[in-house]
Structure 1
Amino acid sequence: MSLFVFSAILGIIIAIIDVVPMIMKKMPCYSIIAAFFHYFFVTIVIVNTDIPGLPWWLKGGVIGLALMLPMLIHVGHDDKRPIPVITANAIILGTVVSVATHYYYF
């Protein structure tokens, strides 16, 4: 399996993990779709990026949080309560992507 196909499949899995709680909370459809595509593409970026000097286990959390910052600023403008949850999701799911990639693909 190529690295891109692996990252796309992993991206779908990670995106589903992120949106299931959103669906259960009956959040707006546009928010669910946006979160799905965000985590799908973030996973592809994490898997296919190498940052020299950064340990493999830290790479996903750092990239996930960095790519989530614009959304945090946008969401935090109106309501600051979801910021810790969104931040934790970005770090945890990014780290899960790094771990899954390290142990499954490499």
Structure 2
Amino acid sequence: MREYLLIILIGLVAAFVGIIPLLKRRVDRYTLFSVFLFYFLMPVVVYRIKLPGVNWWLLGPLVTFILVLPIVVAQGRGYKKCIFPMLLTSIGIGFFIAVMGHFLLA
């Protein structure tokens, strides 16, 4: 039970941090909600996936970056100024998720 609560807390922090660059660029609420849900659910994916040969600190940024690409492609046409911040934020939040999971859930 403690593990699930920590995953939810890490997801909430990651989601709120993930939408900050988009709030500054004034995107619509559907984009904000989709990115919020993406980062909220990302800790579950990162903590459950196992990739052989990938270190724990690289797993979060790698998985998050790869999975954010469809959102960037879908939203990139209307918000070209948000493509780079979303990609950069995904790497940072993925690293945050990996570090928090390594130290809090191990």
TM range, smaller chain: 0.7 to 0.9
Residue in 2 aligned with 1:104?
104
Structure 1 unmatched ranges of 5 or more: none
- Cα deviation for residue 41 of structure 1 reads 1.0
Alpha carbons of 1:79 and 1:31: their partners in 2 closer, same or farther (altered >3 Å)? closer
| Greater alpha carbon shift after TM alignment, 66-75 vs 85-94 | 66-75
Runs of 4+ in 1 over 6 A off after TM superposition: none
With the length of structure 1 as denominator, give the TM-score of the two structures: 0.84
With the length of structure 2 as denominator, give the TM-score of the two structures: 0.84
- RMSD of the alignment, in Å? 1.9
**C-alpha separation between the residues in 1 aligned to 2:13 and 2:32?**
14
| Greater alpha carbon shift after TM alignment, 21-30 vs 56-65 | 21-30
Aligned pair count reads: 106
Identity %: 24
Residue in 2 aligned with 1:17?
17
Residue in 2 aligned with 1:94?
94
- Cα deviation for residue 86 of structure 1 reads 1.1
**C-alpha separation between the residues in 1 aligned to 2:66 and 2:27?**
24
1:15-94 to 2 correspondences below 5 Å: 15-94=15-94
Structure 2 unmatched ranges of 5 or more: none
Say whether the 8 Å CA contact 1:7–1:44 is kept in structure 2.
Answer: yes
